[in-house]
Amino acid sequence: MADKQPKEDPVNKVKSMARNLLDNIFDDLMENNVLNGAELQRLGDGVNLLVKGTENLAENLAEKSQMASKIFMERLFKEQLSLDSHTENENDESENNESSSSSTESNDESEENSDEEKAESAMALALPPPAPQEIQASETNHELKLCSYDYFHRMKTTKADEIYPVMEQKGRTRLALIICNKEFKHLSYREGSKVDLKGMKELLENLGYSVVVKEDITALEMEAVLWEFAARPEHQSSDSTILVFMSHGTLEGICGTLHQKQKPDILHDDTIFQIFNNRNCQYLRDKPKVIIMQACRGSTGATWVADTEGASACRYDHTFQCCFWSDAVTKTHVEKDFIAFKSSTPHNISWRTGTFGSLFISQLIYHLKEYSWCYHLEEVFRKVQHSFENVEVLAQMPTIERVSMTRYFYLFPGI
């Protein structure tokens, strides 16, 4: 029986095929007087370098791929995911469990370990295909894609009646506000919140906003900050504003640093909308007001029931759904041009990791960097929602709420 022929090295096979192909091409070029001898010699030297480097390139790629895969898997499975919620375990009234019940990071040790294992899988499922060494949404080299002036001008002229006016950088004074609560008197520390804060601040600055940051404040202090921010004269020469809230949360709103079950410290959604409505913040009248919230909203999965609206301080006509001003010359909707994007559906939790931050914020940053140059904001939000659609381990679905925008809002980064 004849000896079995050894299998040819695939790298050498590729090198041989490439050399044969190029030799035939060079012969044809010489025959047709396209190349002379000197030119052929120079091209031949370049081909030799390319062919000889093929084997080293293949070996380096194989080595790097193995190393990157190892680092990625080790890092991913070392992460411990924590719940972005403060809600206490209402079924356990024991004082001995006070330190653990003040945080919904877990109900007991066995559930916590199980949640961590599930969360590691969720990170891989929820996010776009991972980069070799870390999650794509957290890549430091993932740059914001800029809009070309030609595209901006075309949209501005052809869709003027459909989009909000966007000011160009010269003379524009965009402002954004981030409120990030990390440390609480009665609740757990929000691991990973520094990552969210850094990433969101950098993104907003790259989008042309001067960012005001407030950290670790109570509900009353948050309200005072909002009133002060709404009164900033820069809004008069701005085309929009963005408000970002990152904290523990309940169905009722965002938790201040003094929150506890017996004595709530909550900033309610209605308070935010009232401060920035057309009655109280006329500098932002007819301009987009974007509200982003990273916080839990409970954990039962039930259907949300909207809060009852309070009486308006101005003369409000329920038939025309608008507020009539005292000068009897103009009228405007009290609440208009808002959009709120929240990290989860009502009664549900939001997830975050210590290293990569929250799933919601990381996905939001990634999609804004990738798509805001050509998609309006609500469509970018829908793309973020789609990234969570197939998560089967730790369910979380961001929601677009309380939308009163009458046009499309394009950020046009770079303009």
Catalytic residue among 147, 180, 281, 296: 296
* Catalytic site residue from 86, 186, 248, 367: 248
Class of residue 374 by CB neighbours under 10 A (exposed 0-12, middle 13-18, buried 19+) = middle
Give the CA angle between residues 163, 295, 231 to the nearest 5°.
55
Structure tokens that stand for 94 in this block: 């024991």
Sequence length of the chain is 415
Q: CA 410, CA 304: separation in Å to the nearest integer?
A: 30
Instruction: Give the containing element (helix H, strand E) for 65.
Output: helix 37-78
Which residue is it, tokens 């409505």?
Answer: 277
The CA distance from 365 to 205, in Å, is 12
Reply yes or no on whether 186 is catalytic: no
The DSSP output letter for 293 is E
Structure tokens at 137: 């949404």
Task: Classify each residue of 356-369 as buried b or exposed e, where b means 16 or more C-beta atoms within 10 Å of its C-beta.
Answer: bbbbbbbbbbbbbb
296 an active-site residue?
Answer: yes
For residue 125, give the nearest of 386, 342, 387 by alpha carbon.
387
What does the block give as tokens for 170? 């010269």
| Active-site annotation, residues | 248, 296
